[in-house]
Amino acid sequence: MKRSASAVWTGGLKDGQGTLSTETGVLREAPYGFRSRFEDGPGTNPEELIAAAHAGCYSMALSLGLGNAGLTAERIETRARVTLDRQGEGFAITAVHLRCRARVPGADTAAFDRIAQETKQGCPVSKVLRAEITLDAALED
């Protein structure tokens, strides 16, 4: 399975603007820019989208881990907080904090904690944040 998204940016860093779109159309030319990323301006930003992806992935993966243990969650709510910090001349995502609250009938705390920690390491978005990144870049005429 492969999924894709695209970004279009015009202008300079501070005065420019961009849009983000996904192949499914869930995001269609969603605006983003300097103000939405580094200030409190309207629009989204890459870190917010990474947080959404991580929270969604973690919740689904936790459901799988619980199911493998014979448990079914009534509800799993995960919030991901992505931290973007200045590093040298640029910026880096330095941390992601996951906060999960789950209602799982029949689960004991020790089993839930073990499955939750395993899920933190094993969910695909957690893994991609440690993945090799490849690039194909070219100038257009």
Judging by beta carbons within 10 Å of its beta carbon (0-12, 13-18, 19+), is residue 129 exposed, middle or buried? middle
3-state secondary structure at position 22? strand
Q: What CA–CA distance (Å, rounded) separates 104 from 107?
A: 6
Q: What CA–CA distance (Å, rounded) separates 60 from 37?
A: 27
Q: What CA–CA distance (Å, rounded) separates 129 from 47?
A: 12
Q: What pTM value is reported for the model?
A: 0.89
Q: Return the closest-CA partner of residue 46 out of 65, 58, 31.
A: 31
Per-residue pLDDT tens digits of the chain, which is 141 residues long? 899 999 999 999 999 999 999 999 999 999 999 999 989 899 999 999 999 999 999 999 999 999 999 999 999 999 999 998 999 999 888 889 999 999 999 999 999 999 999 999 999 998 888 877 788 878 576
Q: What CA–CA distance (Å, rounded) separates 141 from 139?
A: 7
> What are the structure tokens assigned to 8, written together?
């279009």
Domains identified in the chain and CATH numbers: 1-44 (no CATH), 45-132 (3.30.300.20)
Q: What CA–CA distance (Å, rounded) separates 57 from 120?
A: 10
